[in-house]
Amino acid sequence: MGCSVPSLLLHLFSLIMFLVFNPPCVCGNVEDDELKSLLDLKAALDPDNTYLSSWTMNGNPCGGGSFEGVACNDQGQVANISLQGKGLSGKLSSSIAGLKHLTGLYLHYNSLSGDIPKEIANLTQLSDLYLNVNHLSGEIPSEIGKMENLQVLQLCYNQLTGSIPTQLGDLKKLSVLALQSNQLTGAIPASLGDLGMLMRLDLSSNQLFGSIPSRLADVTSLQVLDVHNNTLSGNVPPGNNDLLMVILICWCC
């Protein structure tokens, strides 16, 4: 026998009342996660709470400038952090990985020290990464090669050591790669010749050795290649005439 209409209504009413007083669990609140990541980031960047005092637990990162230097997208997610030239003297925390909707990170012209956390590679939507003119040390994380939307990578004027990761050749949208004035060693990776959209490559004032990869001459978009003040050897690779002129100028600087 089927259920009667009153029985169905009774079951429906019971279900509604259950949902009202026992709402389903919504785990991993994005706004709470981003707020926690921002506060963890603040504690590392500004340990004395001198410059980022507007970043508070009770604040709203997307509340019209209540978090200095933070901007959000239309969905209320943190999309941009612009803190260049703010006098920050701390470190870049791995908690930056929690801001997964970030498209721009501008921390240049500060006094940040320590390593670049490999967790930064979790920011797969990031297009602009400016960490230049700080006191960052350690090696460039090879994981950065996973940041598929990266267009500008500025790491120049730091104290970075080690070799240039070959994985940077996987950044197919990259247009600017600035690594000058560090303490990088080793050879220039041939994989940089796979960066078909690269317009500016500055590797000057490091401790690089070996020859300029011939594949760089095939990057037709490349307008500036600066490799002066290294210990490079070998011949200038043949290829695009404009590119050759830039290489020769920088070779003789």
The predicted-structure confidence for 171-211, as pLDDT tens digits, reads as follows: 999 999 999 999 999 999 999 999 999 999 999 999 999 99
More confident residue, 19 or 68: 68
Report the distance separating Cα 137 and Cα 117, nearest Å.
11
Out of 98, 126, 161, pick the residue that ends a domain: 161
Alpha helix (H) residue ranges in the chain: 5-21, 30-45, 241-251
Residue 12 predicted with pLDDT over 80:
no
124 within a domain of the structure (yes/no)? yes
- Which range of residues forms the domain containing residue 69? 30-161
**Binning pLDDT at 50, 70 and 90, where does residue 1 land?**
very low
Together in a domain, 204 and 130: no
Q: Is the residue at 19 inside a domain?
A: no
CATH number, residue 225: 3.80.10.10
Is residue 240 pLDDT above 80, yes or no? no
DSSP code for 91? B
Mean pLDDT of 150-158: 98
Q: Pick the most confident of 17-21, 138-142, 211-215.
A: 138-142
d(CA 1, CA 143): 64
Whether residues 70 and 155 fall in one domain: yes
Query: Is the same domain home to 53 and 138?
Result: yes
Share of the chain above pLDDT 70, in %: 81
Average pLDDT score over residue span 219-224: 92
pLDDT score, position 247: 54
Contact residues for 198 (Cβ-Cβ < 8 A; gap 6+): 174, 175, 176, 177, 192, 219, 221, 222
Q: What is the pTM of this model?
A: 0.84
Determine, yes or no, domain membership for 136: yes
- Using the 8-state DSSP alphabet, how is residue 233 labeled? -
| Mean of pLDDT values over 206-220 | 93
- Domain assignment present for 15: no
- Residue where the block lists tokens 């690779």: 237
Based on the fold, state whether residues 156 and 35 are members of the same structural domain. Answer: yes
* Total structural domains within the chain: 2
Do the Cβ atoms of 211 and 196 come closer than 8 Å?
A: no
Residue 32 has pLDDT above 60, yes or no: yes
- Residue 132 forms part of a structural domain: yes
Residue 35 in this model has a pLDDT that exceeds 50? yes
Cα gap 212→215, rounded to integer Å: 9
Dihedral sign of CA atoms 92, 228, 145, 163 in order: negative
Q: CA 42, CA 227: separation in Å to the nearest integer?
A: 36
Residue 187 lies in a domain: yes
Same domain (yes/no): 35, 127: yes
Q: How large is the average pLDDT for residues 120-147?
A: 98
Q: How confident is the model at residue 29 (pLDDT cuts 50, 70, 90)?
A: very low
Query: Is residue 135 classed as helix, strand or coil in its secondary structure?
Result: strand
Residue 13 has pLDDT above 70, yes or no: no
Q: Are residues 36 and 148 in the same domain?
A: yes
pLDDT of residue 185: 98
pLDDT-derived band at 236, boundaries 50, 70, 90: confident
Give domain status of residue 16, yes or no. Answer: no
Q: In angstroms, rounded to a whole number, what is the distance separating the alpha carbons of residues 116 and 166?
A: 17
Q: Which burial class, exposed, middle or buried, applies to 75 when counting CB atoms under 10 A from its CB (0-12, 13-18, 19+)?
A: exposed
